[in-house]
Structure 1
Amino acid sequence: MVVTLLRNSAGMVVTLMDWGATLLSARIPLSDGSVREALLGCASPEHYPEQTSFLGASIGRYANRIANSRYTFAGETVQLSPSQGENQLHGGPEGFDKRRWQIVNQNDRQVLFALTSDDGDQGFPGHLCATAPRRNIV
């Protein structure tokens, strides 16, 4: 896994990783000199592939639950890969949160993640190129 740090002029540090284009940490400096963690997450980046709560992850192709893992599009029933009983949740068992995203561009303030999802991926039709820009600005 590739871990990336983004910093801003106020001293905030955001930690991300390529697995799921996941936000791992957002450490915010307070006026008393202390630093506060703003995100709920796993103890270590190595735990993210096994966690099932989608903590900090990019969700896709679809965010939310699709009942019975199917829907109708243009008069045709599209059958998806189930991931929660008979339903599909957040893109399926190998959704975007379970993939290594490519880091296309990065500097100390921003990173651009990209992912390609081929036709039929988790049952979804069509080829999709997804991007997830992350910026730490102030």
Structure 2
Amino acid sequence: MAVGEEFGRLGSGEVVRRFTLENAAGLRVRVLTYGAAVQSLEVPGADGESVDVVLGYGTLDEYVAGSSYFGATVGRYANRIAGGRFELDGREYRLHRNEPAASLHGGREGFDKKVWEVAEATDDSLTLTYLSPDGEEGYPGAVEVHVTYALSGDALRIDLEAASDAPTVVNLTHHGYFDLSGGQDEDVLGHVLHMDAARYLPTDADLIPTGELAPVVGTPFDFTAPQAIGVRIDEPHPDLMAAGGYDHCYVLDDGAVTVTHPGSGRTMEMTTDAPAVQFYSGNFLDGSTKGPSGRPHRRRSGFCLEPQHFPDSPNRPEFPSTVLRPGGTYASSTVFRFPPV
């Protein structure tokens, strides 16, 4: 088993390692045991040179201090749970609220702030595991989580699995920020997005779903035909205004999303078996942090496509259930493919 290289040490002295996976197609991904995070993802271009198409940090201290979830495996519950509370089997559970009106991405210290153990490592795949104890961040049940990153041809596949010893709720996602220009553009507003999703989840002022599954037709949320991300992002639609742009959950019709960067011709095709995807246009990035190359993370300099279940499902019985019971398995697979330019 590969051991990876030391990336840094926490204040406790615990070692964080970085693993580099690469294959003959020219893909190279670096994964940290901290947050099970993708630090970089290099993709070859038409000129044969590879560029990094994700946002990340250069040092462990920046990951520890950061709050943007760059490339992290997010849980125990990705996205928002309203009021930081939910009921399960007649009992109320209260979570840490890291937003005024919600618990977001697992709370104060979600899976993105944990050091994961290495279960298996090869030249082109890596499996990491984390055991979330009963009561962590207020969630019931001890949950064992596995994430596997695997390269195959022109694709990166991410498999997420979880099992619990008691009834609980689970919603996991990969929180990668993508920039297919490789840092050449100031923002990602010129990227063209095509998403086969006829409905999205409107939100209130706190970005909590209202419970409605609204049609995208006739709204700035319609990407059923290819559209540049920035064409309608600043329209005076109440949902866009509340989030400062796109930060909304789309109900996927066939699990397929395609993004193209016209300047380079580079394309990313995402397929997933998750029922939804959170599309986030990097509205809250403010340039106060920077990537390994020194480039600032400016507003809208990366976009996220986070495959997942619906936000606030534990409080919305009309939404697909995210309850995980003993003997059951949470499983989700997503593939990010980068066809040759």
TM-score by length of structure 2 reads 0.39
Q: Which residue of 2 aligns with 1:121?
A: 136
Cα RMSD of the aligned pairs, angstroms, is 1.1
Matches within 5 A, 1:92-107: 92-107=107-122
Q: CA deviation at 1:85?
A: 2.5
Q: 1: distance between equivalents of 2:27 and 2:134?
A: 39
Q: Is the 8 A contact 1:14 1:27 kept in 2?
A: yes
TM-score by length of structure 1 reads 0.95
SS of the residue corresponding to residue 47 of structure 1 reads: helix
Q: 1: distance between equivalents of 2:134 and 2:101?
A: 22
Q: Which residue of 1 aligns with 2:75?
A: 60
Q: CA deviation at 1:45?
A: 4.1
Q: 2: distance between equivalents of 1:97 and 1:9?
A: 30
The answer to which structure, 1 or 2, has the higher relative contact order (CA under 8 A, 6+ apart) is 1
Q: Which residue of 2 aligns with 1:43?
A: 58
Q: CA deviation at 1:43?
A: 3.4
Aligned pair count reads 138
- Provide structure 2 residue ranges, at least 5 long, that are not aligned to the other structure: 1-15, 154-341
- Provide structure 1 residue ranges, at least 5 long, that are not aligned to the other structure: none
Q: CA deviation at 1:31?
A: 2.7
Counterpart of 2:45 (choices 12, 22, 30) is 30
Q: 2: distance between equivalents of 1:132 and 1:33?
A: 30
Percent pairwise identity? 33
Between 1:42-51 and 1:74-83, the stretch displaced more is 42-51
Q: Which residue of 2 aligns with 1:12?
A: 27
Q: Which residue of 2 aligns with 1:131?
A: 146
Q: 2: distance between equivalents of 1:44 and 1:124?
A: 30
Q: Which portions of structure 1, spanning 4 or more consecutive aligned residues, are displaced by more than 6 angstroms?
A: none
Structure 2 vs 1, CA of residues 36 and 106 (structure 1 numbering), >3 Å: closer, same or farther?
same
AA partner of residue 19 (structure 1): Y
